């Protein structure tokens, strides 16, 4: 076989391969188009998740299912699922229903509204303590404690002990912005463990008052507290 024949044969082989690859990609594109036209995306669980589980990215995935088989309460977006907390168990392989995640409008209880590291603590209130019952869930308050030292020669003192504490409930009312019930006897605050200890001590061994903060006020104030000397003494 001369050089020209070899070149022609090589060219024929190359053209045949190119035609084959072209046909393969053409058929693959038709298959992908058919899959897209006859299927839809949905988020499914990859692992079993008990109730009250924070959903992480590796726990879920988007898969394609036959058109019309996605549950009307499911979603095709991981952004609607990741970071939320389950309110009911999820089984690996099942479609993730938004109704089983906190924040979908169902009453799931106060524990789902608390940030990590915080506890809900209730204190007794009356009209004087609770700013004439004008406090509402979602408000922020400062806590003033008045107490009489049991040691030394120190005089009774009032001082701001906690600042910018979130109100999560007034009586049984937890809806943000909802008016306080007329018969509310407690207010529930979101506090960390150290704040909880101080607040329990203040209520048990002293007396507390709540100061309502402006909505946009997140500043921390430093005060020296008030005693008989600082209140009635010369300024």
Q: Tens-digit pLDDT profile for the chain (235 aa)? A: 566 666 656 666 666 677 677 676 666 665 666 556 678 889 999 999 998 898 999 999 999 888 888 899 999 999 999 988 998 899 999 999 999 998 766 667 788 888 889 999 999 999 999 999 999 999 999 999 999 887 766 788 899 999 999 999 999 999 889 998 988 999 999 999 999 999 999 999 999 999 999 999 999 999 888 887 778 766 5
Q: CA–CA separation, 112 vs 103, rounded Å? A: 9
- pLDDT at position 109, please? 79
Could you tell me the residue range of the domain that residue 129 belongs to?
Answer: 111-232
Q: Do 139 and 190 fall within a single domain?
A: yes
11 inside domain: no
CATH code of the domain in which 84 resides: 3.90.1210.10
Its pTM stands at 0.67
* Statement to judge: residues 189 and 211 lie in one domain: yes
What is the predicted pLDDT for the residue at 187?
96
Domains in the chain: how many in total?
2
Q: Mark whether 185 and 212 lie in a shared domain.
A: yes
- pLDDT at residue 123 in the model: 96
- Say whether both 158 and 222 belong to one domain: yes
**Shared-domain flag, residues 82 and 133:** no
pLDDT of residue 31: 60
Contact, 62 vs 40, CB < 8 A? Answer: no
Q: Is residue 23 part of a domain?
A: no
Tokens of 106: 């169902």
Residues 227 and 129 in one domain: yes
**Does one domain contain both 76 and 187?**
no
Instruction: Please report where in the chains the tokens 């036209």 appear, as a residue.
Output: 37
What is the pLDDT, as a whole number, of residue 216?
93
User: What would the DSSP string read from start to end of the chain?
Assistant: --HHHHHHHHHHHHHHHHHHHHHHHHHHHHHHHHHHHHEEEEEEESS-B-TT-B--GGGEEEEEEETT-S-TTB-S-GGGTTT-BBSS-B-TTSB-BGGGBTTSSS---GGGGSPTT-EEEEEE--TTTTGGGT--TT-EEEEEEEE--SSTTPPPEEEEEEEEEEEEEETTB-STTPPPPTT--EEEEEE-HHHHHHHHHHHHHSEEEEEEPPTT---------EEHHHHHS--
Residues 115 and 95 in one domain: no
Please tell me whether residues 162 and 222 are part of one structural domain: yes
**Same domain, residue pair 150 and 216:** yes
- pLDDT at res. 209: 95
Tokens of 8: 């022609």
Q: Indicate if 83 and 170 belong to the same structural domain.
A: no
pLDDT at 224: 85
pLDDT for the residue numbered 25: 67
Q: Are 196 and 121 in contact (CB under 8 A)?
A: yes
**Residue 199's pLDDT is what?**
96
From CA 115, how far away is CA 97, in angstroms rounded? 23
User: Do 124 and 88 belong to one domain?
Assistant: no
């Amino acid at each position: 076989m001369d050089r020209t024949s070899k070149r022609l044969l090589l060219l024929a082989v190359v053209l045949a391969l190119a035609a084959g690859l072209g046909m393969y990609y053409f058929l693959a594109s038709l298959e992908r188009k058919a899959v897209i036209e006859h299927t839809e995306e949905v988020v499914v669980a990859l692992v079993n998740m008990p109730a009250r589980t924070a959903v992480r990215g590796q726990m879920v995935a988007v898969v394609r299912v036959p058109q019309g088989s996605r549950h009307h309460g499911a979603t095709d977006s991981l952004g609607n699922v990741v970071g939320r907390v389950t309110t009911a168990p999820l089984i690996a392989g099942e479609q993730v229903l938004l109704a089983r995640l906190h924040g979908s409008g169902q009453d799931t209880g106060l524990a789902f509204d608390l940030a990590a590291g915080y506890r809900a603590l209730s204190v007794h209130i009356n009209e004087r303590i609770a700013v004439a019952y004008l406090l509402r869930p979602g408000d922020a308050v400062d806590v003033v404690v008045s107490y009489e030292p049991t040691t030394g020669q120190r005089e009774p003192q009032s001082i701001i002990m906690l600042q910018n504490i979130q109100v999560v409930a007034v009586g049984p009312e937890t809806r943000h912005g909802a008016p306080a019930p007329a018969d509310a006897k407690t207010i529930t605050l979101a506090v960390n463990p150290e704040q909880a200890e101080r607040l329990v001590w203040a209520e048990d061994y002293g007396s507390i008052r709540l100061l309502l903060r402006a909505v946009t006020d997140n500043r921390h104030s430093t005060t020296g507290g008030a005693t008989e000397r600082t209140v009635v003494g010369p300024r």
